[in-house]
Structure 1
Amino acid sequence: MRNFLIRWILNTLALWVVAQLYGGVNFAPGSTLADYLVAGLVLGLANALVRPLLLLFTLPLNLLTLGLFTLVVNALVLLLVAQATALEVVGFAGAFWGALLLSIVSWVLDVVFGDGAKVE
């Protein structure tokens, strides 16, 4: 349970950082902390449930592009999260670059807070 809460907070923090750094991804005006937390939760669920299915269905294309199609899948997941939450994404290009930046920010947060977020 502790690991779930840490991942949830890190996802929320990563979304907040991306929304601050990149204009293609932001939250609706007047968004509250609850909106950020819901978006972080939906992102975690989408990454756990939807993303693996998308990667499985696009496996031939992913192999053909040597894994680069994963960036497109990540953008699609971010667009899906935006449809379900107060997160706003400006087009597919905004989702693509936002997902790339979100991956980098998440990686940095994992490096900084990694020991507490790993499943034992």
Structure 2
Amino acid sequence: MSAFLIRTAFTGFSLWIATLIVPGLNFVGGSTGWEEFGIVVVVALIFGVVNAFVKPIVQLLSIPLYILTLGLIHVVINAFMLEITAWITRNTTHWGLEVDDFFWSAILGAIVISVVGWLVGLVLKEAV
């Protein structure tokens, strides 16, 4: 359970960094700092659940595309997971993650989230 919470915290951090860097990717809702923090945490939880349940199915179905594109389809699949997370938060709560368009906001957001997550993983391996 604690590993899931730590991973969720780093996912929230990665999402927050992505919203600062990528135009067209932002959080909607929250008027105070604590409300915005809560939105980031909830979106990170939803993003983690989407990645845990939907992403493996999509990856399994897209094995031929992984071979054909030498793995570059992974960026598109990560962008698709961002879009699904934005759709869930937009249609259930009217606050959360907002992605303006798939090309280029979601693609660049997926790249930034992957790079930040990788860097955080490197720093944590060195610290532990």
User: Which residue number corresponds to residue 85 of structure 2?
Assistant: 81
User: Which residue number corresponds to residue 100 of structure 2?
Assistant: 90
Q: After the TM superposition, which residues 50-69 of structure 1 pair with which residues of structure 2 at under 5 Å, given as runs? A: 50-69=54-73
Moved >4 Å (runs of 4+): none
* Residues 6, 116 of structure 1: 8 Å contact kept: no
Q: Distance in 1 between matches of 2:125 and 2:7?
A: 10
Specify every segment of 5 or more residues in structure 1 that has no aligned partner in the other structure, as ranges. none
| SS state at 2:76 partner | helix
Superposition TM-score, scaled by structure 2 size: 0.84
| SS state at 1:32 partner | helix
1:53-111 residue CA offsets vs partner (Å, 9 max, x unmatched): 10101111111111111111111001001112210111111101110111001111111
Q: Percent identity?
A: 37
Are 1:101 and 2:112 counterparts?
Answer: yes
RMSD of Structure 2 on Structure 1 (CA): 1.8
Residue number among 108, 115, 121 corresponding to 1:110 in the alignment: 121
Paired positions, count: 117
Q: Distance in 1 between matches of 2:17 and 2:38?
A: 16
